[in-house]
Chains A and B, each alone.
Chain A
Amino acid sequence: MTWLKLVEGYMPMQMISELAICILFFSICNYLLKKAGIGVPKFWAGILVWCFVNMFYLKYRIYPPIPFSVRAIYGTVSACGIFMWVSGSQEEWLEFKRPIISVLDANNGFTKVLRTALLLLLPIGLGAFAYSSLLPSFDEPIELRTVHPAPPATTKVHGKTYVLQTAQQPYRIDTEGKYDPAYSNAHIVDQSMGRLMKDVNSSEDNPWDPNAKGYIKHVREGGEIFFQNCHFCHGDNLNGRGLWAFAFNPIPANFTDAGTIAQLQETFVFWRVAKGGIGLPGEGFPWASVMPPWEQHLTVDEIWKVIMFEYWHTGYYPRTWD
């Protein structure tokens, strides 16, 4: 079944494509069955598609498991979509309703039994649902965590105040020592390409080149700091799977995910690294982070360098507003 694996880097489009192929497959099957005179009634076709998407595909195909809240959203939206499909035209709507009306009318023995059974089972089912909902739960409560709380306007680190909206990464410089994000961006390689640098023999691309200078030299220095301090939690591949990661809940941030540092300004990351979990603002409830305030262990320069290494290694570009 390895050929069925979700391919890292392509998973979102793969999921949509698989769903599209499955729906197309169902349509073709139904068309052929209709041609043969044994087409699936609209009512059952609707239920079948909904069950396939929600009870099978999203539940068992996608890994790691999707939290219930998201599956509930998907289930509701897909139910609305199926309703729109089966009631798109009056003829289809009448076809969809036919078995329901047939059971409600109960014109033969089977439908009479079915209607009676449904009339008995429905309130019992609802009662059971109400009962289970009201049962006291001993699970940990659900917390709506604000992963990226709004940063303060300024932050003070080692006695200096930084304005987060305007401060600049001092090591994002070209070979002549000038601040130049375009230069550093040009030397970032997307990780999914399977390599970290464009040209291993170039002193402008390879941080370990003895002649490396400017931006790329500081990337190396940042890497050294990272592997001395951060990789225990954030992992060798910066994916949040470090040696100690699973001692924490939630596990440390996965920098390779498009939803973490790729979404943030470097100054935001600087503030988070410097102040740690303990420095999260009120908005960051429930403050579920054990990251130490690194300003107590690193200098300002070291913090900037390690941030630059994180962006270089993951292949992401820091957010800018211009």
Chain B
Amino acid sequence: MGRLFTPMTRGKKRFSAVTALIVAGVFLTLPIILSVTALAGGGGGGPSGPPAEVLEQRKAAAAAAAAAGESVEGEAVAIETGRDVYYKIEGPAVGMPAPITADNETFYPRYNFESRVLLWVANQQHLYYGSFVLAVPIFCMCIELAGMISKDKAMAKKYDQLAYDFIRISLTAYSLTAILGGILIFTFLTLYPAFFGYLSGIFRPVMHIYALTFVAESGVLYIYYYGWDKMREGVLKWVHLSMCVILNVIGTVLMFLANSWIAFMMSPAGVDEQGRYLGNIWHVLHTALWNPLNVHRILGNMAFGGGVVAAYAAYRFLSSTTDEERAHYDWMGYIAMSLGVAFLIPLPFAGYWLMREVYAYRQQMGITLMGGLLAWLFIIQATMIGILFLTTNYYLWQALGRMTGGERFQKYIKYLVFILVVGLLVFITPHTIVMSPAELKAMGGQQHPVLGNYGVMSAKNGGINAIIMTTILSFIWYQRGNKVPTVSWSKFGNIFMGCFFVVAQINNIFLACYGYFIPANVRIGLSVPQVAGTLSCLLLMTPLNLAMLKGGRELGPIKWGQIPPRSQYAIIMLATAFTWMMGLMGYIRSSVRLFWHVNEVMRDNSPWAYTHTIGFAANVISFNVLFFWISIMFVFWLGTLGAKKVVIKSAVPDPVPAGASPQPAAGH
């Protein structure tokens, strides 16, 4: 009898678990669903404006009075309309105008320190952690799925353990994100009350939805994390993965909402020129730069998250005491870095779209960014991008060393180094050169006749595409490290691949030179075939290589853990460069508003409404990077504490060896 009822009991249990999850999911998302109805009604009414229905009634009354030829005093005259600064349509001015501030304690209460820097640090730290905790669940989703569809059980277990390791790291970071968010709001409220009052007046309903979404995110995250063991088999595993999908959807919505505030500050919409809210919350959200920022940030977060997890693995690798541990963290670092780099490659294209939209929105803003005041910061950014790609290549070359047969490719590294270095030198040569007046005189003008040509976009496009193509080639070599293709067409395939890369590189260099001889608008169009060549190398050659290697002869196994420590320092450098660049780009994006809180709507009249020197900005960015890495090291340490604790309590050994990661009791 017991046997007969067991499946039913199990089925019932599954049914109850799924029902409970659905109910929990509905309850968690209920606040958001309810809030959306508020948006449908028109959203925020500004700090003290009358509700939209009242305005409608007043308008109707005024129209009726006008039709009857009567003059209506007071009420009808009080209806004011405004013209949207971006959408250029009329709307009822239901909000209050943006406050006109002055440099005093009422508008800008302060300590004996620059308020802007305090806000900068609070904001940056919140963003670092926010990016990290939004990116990691996306990785978890991919890795968990990889484990579920893997036919190799040992490998599936390893993937599952890796996904769990990832989410465990992010859990403490999640709490820190919330704490830092609180600090950020307090900093806004105490140091910039007038500005924050205005912004929260405009975004009132959105801010509530944001907070409720955060609650939903927390709930789903905790169910996902703590339900790992309960939902490890069969249908429940798919439910578990679905929880991760929901988690990522909520996380993405959360980020989009936060992005809408900064996008509004840069390119306001939905308000008139006095800053009065015009009753359409969608216009306030959907500003000129919102979508490009959303795409750019998703990719940036993923690259950053991959970098941080890879750095964690590198740190654990370097501190490992056994070969098994080294093997596991070598593998973990490789997976995390690959994910990070996979999102790094499309990042420049998303950045290009963002800048294009910036130029389209305000030409001055674009020139200030890339040709004027902030142009030197872009040179620093280019340097950081170069470091990222060079480091990635370096890691791949080191990784060839842990494969039998990898040495076949290592002798050609010097040629790749040359292309990378030349590409980088062209990419980072400044248009506006820093020089003493004596050097300026000796040079005979602001532009150097040789190097000046590297300072413009045509050459730089060529430089970065050459770098990316070389990185793709390194990756293909890495894929071939311990394998030899045995397909009948391998000779033809090799020649085809070689020719493809050569032609793509020649095409890239030719177009970079040709760009000097044609109008600028045509030149901008040349970036399309250049990028197409690069993407073709990535999207055609990588699968072709895999097809050639399918069933290929293995020269030996990958010796995980037998990689030089230099490679791990390269990973740490990669992660640090990601962090630094993120801080830099955040600063650039914020600085481009110059002396505006909200561009052309609300002026910043604080004593800090000026652009910092490059040196000062670099110091603050470095401080932020240092602070983040010190605090994340603490998070990593906390993660190891938890794992060790469980290991001690463990009574049941894990049935399948899953690398050397800390093995918690009964799975987790």
Q: Say yes or no: is A111 at the interface (Cβ < 8 Å to chain B).
A: no
Across the interface, do A146 and B432 meet the contact criterion of CB distance under 8 Å?
yes
Whether B428 and A77, one on each chain, are in contact in the complex, defined by CB atoms closer than 8 angstroms, is: yes
Question: Using Cβ atoms and an 8 Å threshold, which residues of chain B touch A176?
Answer: none
Contact between A146 and B452 (Cβ–Cβ < 8 Å)?
no
Contact with A along B584-604 (1 / 0, CB 8 A): 000000000000000000000
Q: Is B249 in the interface zone, CB < 8 Å from A? A: no
A82 to B390 CA separation, bound complex (whole angstroms): 12
Within 8 A of B (CB), among A123-182: 139-153, 164-165
A296 interfacial by beta-carbon distance below 8 Å? no
Which residue of A is nearest B411, CB measured? A89
CB within 8 Å of B: which A53-105 residues: 62, 64-70, 73-74, 77-78, 80-82, 84-85, 87-90, 92-93
The answer to whether the Cβ of B516 comes within 8 Å of any Cβ in the partner chain is yes
Name the interface residues of B395-446: CB closer than 8 Å to any CB of A. 397-398, 400-401, 407, 410, 413-414, 417-418, 420-422, 424-426, 428-446
Contact between A16 and B422 (Cβ–Cβ < 8 Å)?
Answer: yes
Cα distance A68–B448 when bound, in Å?
A: 13
**Nearest Cβ in chain A — how far from B117, in angstroms?**
21
Q: Which of B350-387 contact A (CB under 8 A)?
A: 359-360, 362-368, 371-373, 375-376, 383, 386
User: Contact check: which of B446, B456, B564 meets A263 at CB < 8 Å?
Assistant: B456
Cβ contact of B443, chosen from A65, A153, A260, cutoff 8 A: A65
- Interchain CB contact under 8 A, A67 and B394: no
Asked whether any CB of chain B lies closer than 8 Å to the CB of A253, the reply is yes
Give, as a whole number of angstroms, the nearest-CB distance from A169 to chain B: 14
Which of A7-15, A219-227, A302-310 has 4 or more CB atoms under 8 Å from chain B? Answer: A7-15
Produce 1/0 per residue, A281-322, CB < 8 A to B. 001000000000000000000000000000000000111111
Interface residues on A, range: 35 or more
Which A residues are in CB contact (< 8 Å) with B373?
146, 149-150, 283
Closest to A142 in B: B436
Which label, helix, strand, loop or mixed, suits the secondary structure of the A interface? loop
Candidates B425, B445, B520; contact of A319 at CB < 8 Å: B520
Q: Which chain A residues lie closer than 8 Å to B366 at the CB level?
A: 150
Distance A125 CA – B452 CA, assembled complex (angstroms) = 35
Chain B neighbourhood of A68, CB < 8 A? 435-436, 439
The answer, yes or no, to whether A240 is at the interface (CB within 8 Å) is yes
Contact (Cβ within 8 A) B521 A320: yes
A257 touches B443 (CB 8 A): no
Instruction: Evaluate contact between A12 and B453: CB separation under 8 angstroms.
Output: yes
Please report the number of residue pairs spanning A and B whose Cβ atoms sit closer than 8 angstroms: 207
Residues of A within 8 A of B455 (CB): 259
Cα-based distance from A87 to B417 in the complex (angstroms)? 11
Whether A144 contacts B614 by the Cβ 8 Å rule is yes
Task: Name the distance in Å between A119's Cβ and chain B's nearest Cβ.
Answer: 26
Contact A258 B520 (CB under 8 A): no
Say if the beta carbon of A206 comes within 8 Å of chain B: no
A139–B417 Cα distance when bound, in Å, is: 38
With A19-B422, A23-B418, A85-B417 in contact, is A70–B430 under 8 Å at CB? yes
A147 — which chain B residues lie within 8 A by C-beta? 431-432, 446
Whether a CB of chain A sits under 8 angstroms from the CB of B451 is yes
CB pair B444–A185 under 8 Å, yes or no, is no
B74 interfacial by beta-carbon distance below 8 Å: no
- Say whether A229 faces chain B, with CB atoms less than 8 Å apart: no
Q: Please classify how large the interface on chain B is, using the bins under 10, 10 to 19, 20 to 34, 35 or more.
A: 35 or more
Select from chain A the residue with minimum beta-carbon distance to B428.
Answer: A73
- In the complex, A74→B454 CA distance in Å? 13
Closest CB-CB distance, A278 to chain B, in whole Å? Answer: 18
Chain B, residues 448-489, CB within 8 Å of chain A (1/0): the string is 111111111001000000000000000000000000000000
Q: Is A6 close to B, CB under 8 A? A: yes
Given A90-B564, A283-B373, A321-B360: A250 touches B440 (CB 8 Å cut-off): yes
Residues in B with CB closer than 8 Å to A141 are 436
**Contact B372 A149, beta carbon cutoff 8 Å:** yes
Contact present for B364 and A64 (CB under 8 Å): no
Query: Which residues of A are found within 8 Å of B452, using beta-carbon distances?
Result: 257-259
B518 at the interface (CB under 8 A from A): yes
Q: Which of B503-524 contact A (CB under 8 A)?
A: 513, 516-521
Contact between A319 and B428 (Cβ–Cβ < 8 Å)? no
Kindly state the separation between the CA atoms of A309 and B364 in the bound complex, as whole angstroms.
Answer: 25
A283 cross-chain contacts in B, Cβ below 8 A? 368, 372-373
Q: How far is the CA of A20 from the CA of B429 in the complex (A)?
A: 18
Please give the distance in Å from B477's CB to the nearest CB on chain A.
12
- Whether A93 and B414, one on each chain, are in contact in the complex, defined by CB atoms closer than 8 angstroms, is no
A residues near B422, Cβ cutoff 8 Å: 16, 19-20
Minimum C-beta distance from B567 to chain A (A): 10
* CB atoms of A89 and B410 under 8 A apart: yes
- Whether B433 pairs with A67 at a CB distance below 8 angstroms is yes
> Is residue B447 contacting chain A, with contact meaning CB distance below 8 A?
yes
CB <8 Å contact, A321 and B359? yes
Complex CA distance for A13 and B365, rounded to whole angstroms: 32
Chain B contacts for A70, CB-based, 8 A: 429-430, 433, 448, 451
B372 touches A64 (CB 8 A): no
* Nearest A-chain residue to B397, judged by Cβ: A88
Q: Which of A242-266 contact B (CB under 8 A)?
A: 249-251, 253-254, 257-260, 262-263, 265
Residues of A within 8 A of B417 (CB): 81-82, 84-85, 88
B566 at the interface (CB under 8 A from A): yes
Contacts of A87 in B (CB 8 A): 566
Are A20 and B410 touching (Cβ within 8 A)? no
Residue contact B394 to A84, C-beta cutoff 8 Å: yes
- A70-B429, A84-B394, A190-B517 given as contacts; is B364 within 8 A of A150 (CB)? yes
Contact of A148 among B371, B394, B438, B440 (CB under 8 A): B371
Residue from the set A81, A148, A150 with the largest chain B CB neighbour count within 10 Å? A150
Query: B513 near A13 (CB under 8 angstroms)?
Result: yes
Contacts of A69 in B (CB 8 A): 433-435
* CB within 8 Å for A263 and B450 given contacts A88-B397, A89-B407, A146-B432: no
CB of A116 within 8 Å of the partner chain: no
Whether A202 is near chain B, meaning CB under 8 Å from some CB there, is no
When the two chains form their complex, are residues A258 and B442 in contact, meaning their CB atoms are under 8 A apart? no
CA distance A250 to B440 in the complex (A): 7
A92 shortest CB reach to chain B, Å: 8
Measured between alpha carbons, how far is A78 from B418 in the docked complex, in Å?
9
Contacts of A16 in B (CB 8 A): 422, 426
Q: B445–A67 contact, CB under 8 A?
A: no
Known: A66-B451, A84-B394. Is A249-B364 also a contact (CB below 8 A)? no
A151 partner, pick from B367, B394, B439, B447, beta carbons under 8 A:
B367
The distance in angstroms between the C-alpha atoms of A152 and B368, with both chains bound, is: 11
From residue B256, how far is it (CB to closest CB) to chain A in Å?
Answer: 28
Nearest chain A CB to B588's CB is how many angstroms away?
14
Interface contact A64-B435, CB-CB below 8 Å: no
Kindly name the residue among B386, B417, B430 whose own CB sees the greatest number of chain A CB atoms within 10 A. B417
Distance A74 CA – B390 CA, assembled complex (angstroms): 15
Cβ–Cβ contact A89 & B363, under 8 A: no
* Alpha-carbon separation in the docked complex, A70 to B371 (Å): 18
Say whether B401 contacts A67, CB under 8 Å: no
Interchain CB contact under 8 A, B433 and A89: no
Cβ A93 vs Cβ B375 within 8 A: no
A-B complex: 7 closest residue pairs judged by Cβ atoms = A317-B519, A81-B421, A67-B435, A88-B413, A319-B520, A150-B367, A89-B410
19 A/B residue pairs, CB under 8 Å, sorted by A: A19-B422, A64-B442, A64-B444, A87-B566, A90-B401, A140-B438, A144-B376, A146-B372, A150-B363, A150-B366, A151-B363, A152-B364, A240-B445, A249-B441, A257-B447, A259-B452, A318-B519, A319-B519, A320-B521
Which residues of B does A touch, CB under 8 Å? 359-360, 362-368, 371-373, 375-376, 383, 386, 390, 393-394, 397-398, 400-401, 407, 410, 413-414, 417-418, 420-422, 424-426, 428-456, 459, 513, 516-521, 564, 566, 614
Given contacts A141-B436, A146-B373, A259-B455, could you give 18 more A-B pairs where the C-beta distance is less than 8 Å? A11-B449, A12-B453, A23-B418, A64-B442, A64-B443, A65-B443, A69-B434, A77-B428, A88-B413, A142-B435, A153-B364, A190-B517, A258-B516, A259-B453, A265-B363, A317-B518, A319-B520, A321-B363
